[in-house]
Structure 1
């Protein structure tokens, strides 16, 4: 086969991508060279991306040269590529993608670890992405968002120049360029927290449809799993008829035999995003299901009951208000401290402290513990992580699943041979403790107890959300489910209560306010 010409943009990241593909081609015996092509997006730097005409402003010129035959391969960031190929062109291969997470880079004097995302109140964040802006303001409505253009090193230079307090970038680009960020605070935002752009972190190798020999030769570079995952994401984008300026995040990953998909969509950059999580056994028809869930005609719950007090400005309350859903929030249990002074013995030689609830975090730090500097923290989920932040500490381990058994197994694999302190409720199930190996030393510290309320009134809400097994016991001591009511259970232990009762329930992916909002949005009133 002749020497191939690879067309690419001229930014540092685009050149890294093109050189990476050139090495991959050489590994399968194909010789190539690089041709740099300027695109509309490279030439116009004084306008926001959503103000540029058309959809392929980072790709059109490459596609024109491909069709003209002046290049043989175009290497694209797949998230920049329109979902429909021009006639005569095709995506021949999608290599295994880099992580799709986001990096929030923060000037160190603008860090406040007690707040969500570690940003000080009212911080100025640079991004020209409507998707990022919408989701950021959903998480932190106090932030000021300003436009940010330029290639990755230019954006970071603007941050270092203190034009912004923080900026958001795709981790993939930063990682590929191997940039030194040691002078900045780096907060990695997982795809379950800030949902990435469709196909973020993936590359697309585009060729002419007529080059069938080249198509066949490129197949060793194609990663079937990545192609199927990003295929779902790009199909969602296509069905919503959106370009890369649409405030749409969609991330799909294959977990075992299932596909798990997170979607966030807003009407514009200022709009609160509606989030959805779906799990399916096949990618077939999955994008259509996701888009249908956003149908304005879908009958949603009018009222949701939750066994927890919900703050006026909480994410969950704002998310439900966006869909016109009323909240009835009341706790069915009371908690009381059972330790008032902390014996220093409990903190001696500990390596980790693990919290299985917000209450555990709050009651523990009310004891003013003098912690060893080496102490690391584990939490069962993002709710406990947020509580830990309020006391000025980061979690070194965060359970990403609502299944405490899975969280326990992940944590157990991290701490063999170490000492772990467990501040807990007196009646807790101790699932994590039971999962630890025999060589892990457990320091048990019951610090509070729960008491259930009596004579609890039932709720006529369309959806009932229960936050713990004790709340389930308290509610159903004197109430039954009404016809048509649906149940959401936070955590696997709460879910098991309903299994014992023979009640069908939904469990959110993550046991926090974002996960709850996703679960409620997915429901349809029967």
Structure 2
């Protein structure tokens, strides 16, 4: 085959991407050279991206040269590419995707680990993405968001010049450029917490539709698994008729033969984003099903009961109130400390401290523990992670899955031969402990007990959320489910109670306020 000409933008990241494809082609015996093309997005630097006319202002000029025959293929960040192609062009290949997670880069003197995202109160964050702005304000309404333009190194320099307290970037771009960020604090935001742009981290190789020989050749660098996942995300974007300025996040991954999809959508960058999590066996009709859930016509719950007190400014409350859903929040249990003085000697050799609830974090730190410097922390759920932050500690392991078996398996890989302390409730099921390797040394520390409230009033809410097995026991001593009431169990330990009762329930992806809000939003009321 003749020497190919690859069209690319001239930014550091675009050149890395084009050279990466050039190397991939060289590996299959095809020679190529680069042609740098300036796009509208590169030329107009004084306007916010969503103020530019039309779509595809980082791709249009490349597409014109492709149609004109001056280049043979164009390499795009797939998230910048409109979902409708110009006639005569096609995406021929999508190589394996880089991680789609986000980086929040923070000036070290603006870090406050006790706050969510480790950002001090009222911090100014730079981003030109409406999606990022909506999700940031959803998690931290106190933040100030300011526009940020320029390529990746330019944006980072603006942060170093203290134009901002923090900025947000895709991890993929930072990683590809191999930048030294040791002078900054990096907060990595997982895709389940902060939903990326459709096709974030993926590259798209675009060619002329009739170049059949080139299309066949490029299948050698195509990754079918990545292509299948990003197709779902781009179809959702297409069905919402949104460009890359719509405050829309969508992320799909295939796990154990099932497709798991997270979607976040806001009306504007200032609005609270609705979030949805869906599992499906096939991608057929999946994007349509997701988009239908965001329809204003859909009947959602009018009232939700949850078996815990819900703070006035909590994420869960704001998510439900955004949908005009009434909340009935009351705990059906009380907790009491059973240890008032901690034997500090037991902490001497501890490598890991593992918390399975917010209560266990609070009761443990109320004992004023003197921790060894080497001690690491593991938690179940972002609720426990946030509780740990309030005491000035990061979680080194966060089990974000609602499936405690999965969490246990992941944690077990880290603690072979280690001393692991479990501050816990006296009646805890100890699911994590049972899954640890035989050579892990478990230090058991029951520090509080749970007492069930008596004479609990029935709830007539459309949806009942139970946040622990004890709360299930407490409620069903005197009450039954009303016809049509739907149940959400925070995790599978709580779900097992309903399995025993023969009651169907929804299990959120993550055992925290975000996961519960996603689960409520996904429920249809007949």
If the TM-score is normalised by the length of the shorter chain, which range does it land in?
Answer: over 0.9
Q: How do 1:334-345 residues align onto structure 2 when only pairs under 5 Å count?
A: 334-345=334-345
Q: How do 1:37-56 residues align onto structure 2 when only pairs under 5 Å count?
A: 37-56=37-56
Larger deviation, residues 76-85 vs 397-406:
397-406
Alpha-carbon deviation of 1:348?
Answer: 1.5
1:70 aligns with 2:74: no
**Residue number in structure 1 paired with 2:259:** 259
Secondary structure of the equivalent of 1:205?
Answer: strand
Partners of 1:121 and 1:437 in 2: how far apart?
41
Partners of 1:158 and 1:181 in 2: how far apart?
13
Alpha-carbon deviation of 1:434?
Answer: 0.8
Partners of 1:323 and 1:225 in 2: how far apart?
35
* Paired residues, number: 526
Alpha-carbon deviation of 1:345?
Answer: 2.0
1:478 aligns with 2:478: yes
**Residue number in structure 2 paired with 1:227:** 227
Partners of 1:18 and 1:410 in 2: how far apart?
36
**Residue number in structure 2 paired with 1:277:** 277
Alpha-carbon deviation of 1:381?
Answer: 1.3
Q: How do 1:85-484 residues align onto structure 2 when only pairs under 5 Å count?
A: 85-484=85-484
Partners of 2:438 and 2:65 in 1: how far apart?
64
Question: Normalising by structure 1, what TM-score?
Answer: 1.00
Partners of 1:433 and 1:257 in 2: how far apart?
28
**Residue number in structure 2 paired with 1:26:** 26
Alpha-carbon deviation of 1:413?
Answer: 1.2
Partners of 2:84 and 2:222 in 1: how far apart?
19
Secondary structure of the equivalent of 2:429?
Answer: coil
Partners of 1:151 and 1:271 in 2: how far apart?
27
Partners of 2:226 and 2:391 in 1: how far apart?
39
Question: Normalising by structure 2, what TM-score?
Answer: 1.00
Alpha-carbon deviation of 1:84?
Answer: 1.0
Secondary structure of the equivalent of 2:84?
Answer: coil
Partners of 1:375 and 1:69 in 2: how far apart?
61
Secondary structure of the equivalent of 1:103?
Answer: strand
Structure 1's unaligned 5+ residue stretches are none
Partners of 1:442 and 1:293 in 2: how far apart?
45
Partners of 2:258 and 2:131 in 1: how far apart?
26
Partners of 2:438 and 2:257 in 1: how far apart?
32
Runs (4+) of structure 1 moved beyond 3 Å?
Answer: none
Partners of 2:337 and 2:330 in 1: how far apart?
20
Alpha-carbon deviation of 1:282?
Answer: 0.3
Partners of 2:438 and 2:514 in 1: how far apart?
36
Secondary structure of the equivalent of 2:133?
Answer: helix
Root mean square deviation, CA, Å: 0.5
Partners of 2:233 and 2:407 in 1: how far apart?
27
Secondary structure of the equivalent of 1:218?
Answer: helix
Structure 2's unaligned 5+ residue stretches are none
Alpha-carbon deviation of 1:369?
Answer: 0.5
Alpha-carbon deviation of 1:437?
Answer: 1.4
Secondary structure of the equivalent of 2:163?
Answer: coil
Partners of 1:285 and 1:362 in 2: how far apart?
45
Secondary structure of the equivalent of 2:156?
Answer: helix
Partners of 2:166 and 2:231 in 1: how far apart?
32
Partners of 1:238 and 1:406 in 2: how far apart?
34
Alpha-carbon deviation of 1:405?
Answer: 1.2
Alpha-carbon deviation of 1:90?
Answer: 0.2
Alpha-carbon deviation of 1:226?
Answer: 0.2
Partners of 1:498 and 1:482 in 2: how far apart?
15
Partners of 1:188 and 1:264 in 2: how far apart?
18
Secondary structure of the equivalent of 1:76?
Answer: strand
Partners of 1:95 and 1:120 in 2: how far apart?
38
